[in-house]
Amino acid sequence: MAEAGAPFSAYRTTVREEWLDYNGHMNDASYSVALSEANEVLLETLGLSAGYREEHQSSMFTVETHVRYLAECSRGQSLTASTVVVDADPRRLRLHTELLDDQGRPVATGETLYLHVDIGLGRVTELPADRLRAVEDLRAAHAALPRPAHLGLGVGAPRQRPREDTRQGAERG
């Protein structure tokens, strides 16, 4: 697992030919693939991956992801990931993953929310105690790590209250 006070950093990959766009750089969907693969390595470590689904007929479902694209990547470039458990409860797991180039510079970040779903029931359920304990242990190990300013902000401009339409004769509805 991860050491206390250190992000989970087991994922390593190389930018693949099929990940390139017509500009010769990694396309936007491929950043999401790499971030998803990195999170899957963490889920596997927590015992919440494919084997868990088979054994328990339950799985972690991705319900929301926010990706930030920070730098271009080229074919053959080495990438690693650094993941922090931001929050967790018996039904949810929220991760922040930073994709890094071979110099340790961030090329993308992904914030992902997972829900624990019982496949047979077709609804969100609580994690079994042993898996929740593993998640909680990692969350506790990550509790003191710094959180990026963009965490939880989502897409778009700063949030503002909608302006009221002040045009004369404007219909209100």
What would the DSSP string read from start to end of the chain?
Answer: -PPTTS-B---EEE--GGGB-TTSBB-HHHHHHHHHHHHHHHHHHTT-SHHHHHHHSEEEEEEEEEEEE-S--BTT-EEEEEEEEEEE-SSEEEEEEEEE-TTS-EEEEEEEEEEEEETTTTEE-PPPHHHHHHHHHHHHHHTTS---TTTT--SSSPP-PPPPP--TT----
* Cβ-count burial 22-39 (b if 16+ within 10 Å, e if not): eeebbeeebbbebbeebb
pLDDT at residue 153, rounded to an integer: 87
pLDDT at residue 163, rounded to an integer: 58
Cα–Cα distance measured from residue 100 to residue 75, given in angstroms and rounded to the nearest whole number: 15
pLDDT at residue 4, rounded to an integer: 63
Judge contact between 60 and 43, C-beta under 8 A. Answer: yes
Q: Which pTM was predicted?
A: 0.86
pLDDT at residue 160, rounded to an integer: 61
Each residue's pLDDT tens digit, 103-130:
999 999 999 999 999 999 999 999 999 9
CATH architecture assigned to 12-142: Roll (3.10)
Q: How many CB atoms lie within 10 A of CB 58?
A: 21
The stretches in the chain having pLDDT less than 50 are 165, 167, 169-173
Average pLDDT of every residue of the chain: 91
Cα–Cα distance measured from residue 94 to residue 64, given in angstroms and rounded to the nearest whole number: 9
Domain boundaries, the chain: 12-142
Cα–Cα distance measured from residue 101 to residue 80, given in angstroms and rounded to the nearest whole number: 7
Judge contact between 135 and 71, C-beta under 8 A. Answer: no
pLDDT at residue 172, rounded to an integer: 42
pLDDT at residue 170, rounded to an integer: 47
